[in-house]
Amino acid sequence: MFRRLRFRFILIAMLSVFIVLGVIVSGINVISYNRAVSNADEILLLLAKNEGRFPEMDMNGSDMPEPPEVRDGRNMMHSPELAYESRFFSVLLDQNGAILNIDTGRIAAIDQDTAGEYALDVFGSNKTRGFVSDYRFLKTNEGSNVRIVFYDCGRSLDSFRGFLKTSIYISLAGMTVIFILIFLSSGRIVRPIAASYEKQKRFITDAGHEIKTPLAIINADCDVILSDGENTWAEDIKSQTKRLTELTNDLIYLAKMEEDVPALSLQETDISRIAEDSVSSFTSMFITSDKTLSSSIEPGIILNCDAKAIRELISILLDNALKYSPEKGYADITLKRYKKTVKLYVVNDTKEPLSKDDCEHLTDRFYRQDKSRNSSTGGHGIGLSIASAVVSAHQGKLVFEPEDRKLKIKITLPLRSA
């Protein structure tokens, strides 16, 4: 149990770290990528306004006025070297897609044929902005023609990719270190809970064994009193003593089933026969209570299990269906093989609709969903807790599925149990 608790703690902690790092790394890289694209778009816009070229800038400090787009360019990039650092080319086409002019004078990696191919691809698409390889493009109208300007984003994209890889590697290394630290510390974190739970189980077991003796004495004394004739008080004491004895035995059994390594007596068992015997035992009780019990049991299912525990499991499920179904209620038990598992389903009518929240608490000790699940039904409120412990001890899975006024209990057991 505490191995699972420790595993869940590590899993939740690592998932939290992964989400936080994922958000941080993704956010930083998205901002970095958007900044590179935004800078490229601003340069492309400046080039498109000037027929695919940078405007002539006054670099000698003269007083000649600058065009607005030049001032915009300086404000935009804050660098007079921008025109000399940028690599770009442009293609002018008419409305029919015929190439009128190709300018590759400011780039060495692209020849005119390649520039023409890129331009025709962009012209045939519906996009006005985008990427062709590492080249960001902008398609604008220039009079009656179309100019497509391409800007080389290779260096900025390489920088982005390098930063992306570095951030991922650093994040993975950080997660590895965090995993080691969490793994080493998780045992110490869970240890107080485990110690407290072990003390609780030990108390239940020890107290249960201690209570058994006075209960046996009280029961024997009641027998002596009743031997002299009927005695209402003695009969009531005997009845409650029997009930308390059963509850004590159930608590001790539950504590044993919830141990990290339950003391199971595993052997090859025909659980189909166990299920049929249990159905036969409960059929008369269902008929007496004016209720219906049906069954669909596949014969000859052999399971490596604790036969006593499985018998107890099926009895608990049928007893639960009998006690908490309404008058003229219906219950059904199904047992079948499915691939490498055994499926055990018990469906019964309920007096009131069950919610998902109710189902989440059905295996809690002494939990009662409503007034219909009170002590007058004769149960102790820990039957389904024992059922859950038995299923877990056999490495199985138990699921509750509410449906209108029905409750379906689905149990899956591996054919090769631990």
In the structure encoding, which two tokens stand for residue 318, read together? 């049928």
Mean pLDDT across 293-308: 90
Mean pLDDT across 220-243: 80
Residue 68 has a pLDDT of 44
Residue 72 has a pLDDT of 44
For residue 103, give the H/E element and its range: strand 99-106
Residues 11 and 153 in one domain: yes
The dihedral built from the CA positions of residue 31, 32, 33 and 35, taken in this order, carries a sign that is positive
In the structure encoding, which two tokens stand for residue 33, read together? 């990528």
Mapped to the 3 state alphabet, what secondary structure does 188-207 carry?
Answer: HHHHHHHHHHHHHHHHHHHH
Mean pLDDT across 226-243: 80
Residue 332 lies in a domain: yes
Residues 149 and 277 in one domain: no
Between 222-226, 335-339, 343-347, 370-374, the lowest mean confidence (pLDDT) is in 370-374
What confidence tier does 368 reach under pLDDT thresholds 50, 70, 90? low
79-111 pLDDT tens trace:
677 888 889 999 999 999 999 999 999 999 999
Domain end among 143, 158, 173: 158
Residue 67 has a pLDDT of 45
The pLDDT of residue 264 is above 80: no
The pLDDT of residue 76 is above 50: no
Domain of residue 282, residue span: 266-414
Residue 174 has a pLDDT of 92
Domain end among 108, 143, 158: 158
* Percent of the chain whose predicted confidence (pLDDT) is above 70: 81
**Mean pLDDT in the chain?**
82
Residue 273 has a pLDDT of 93
Number of compact structural domains in the chain? 2
Residue 66 has a pLDDT of 46
**How far apart, in whole angstroms, are the C-alpha atoms of residue 217 and residue 221?**
6
- CATH number, domain containing residue 82: 3.40.1840.10
Both ends of the chain: CA-CA distance in Å? 14
38-63 pLDDT tens trace:
999 999 999 999 888 888 654 443 43
Q: Report strand pairing: 88-93 vs 99-106.
A: antiparallel
Residue 317 lies in a domain: yes
Helices (H), 50-153: 68-77, 82-85, 112-124
**How far apart, in whole angstroms, are the C-alpha atoms of residue 69 and residue 48?**
11
Residue 31 lies in a domain: yes
What confidence tier does 326 reach under pLDDT thresholds 50, 70, 90? confident
Mean pLDDT across 220-240: 81
The pLDDT of residue 15 is above 90: yes
- CATH number, domain containing residue 270: 3.30.565.10
Residue 210 lies in a domain: no
Domain end among 133, 158, 183: 158
Residue 242 lies in a domain: no
Residue 257 has a pLDDT of 66
| CA Rg value for the chain | 39
**How far apart, in whole angstroms, are the C-alpha atoms of residue 173 and residue 185?**
18
**How far apart, in whole angstroms, are the C-alpha atoms of residue 348 and residue 326?**
9
The pLDDT of residue 163 is above 50: yes
**How far apart, in whole angstroms, are the C-alpha atoms of residue 407 and residue 389?**
19
Residue 90 has a pLDDT of 94
186-214 pLDDT tens trace:
888 777 776 776 666 666 666 666 677 78
Residue 175 lies in a domain: no
CA 195 from centre of chain: 28
Q: Which of 233, 412, 242 is nearest to 336 (CA)?
A: 412
Residue 197 has a pLDDT of 65
In the structure encoding, which two tokens stand for residue 245, read together? 């004895």
Residue 157 has a pLDDT of 93
**How far apart, in whole angstroms, are the C-alpha atoms of residue 260 and residue 3?**
8
In the structure encoding, which two tokens stand for residue 103, read together? 């300018």
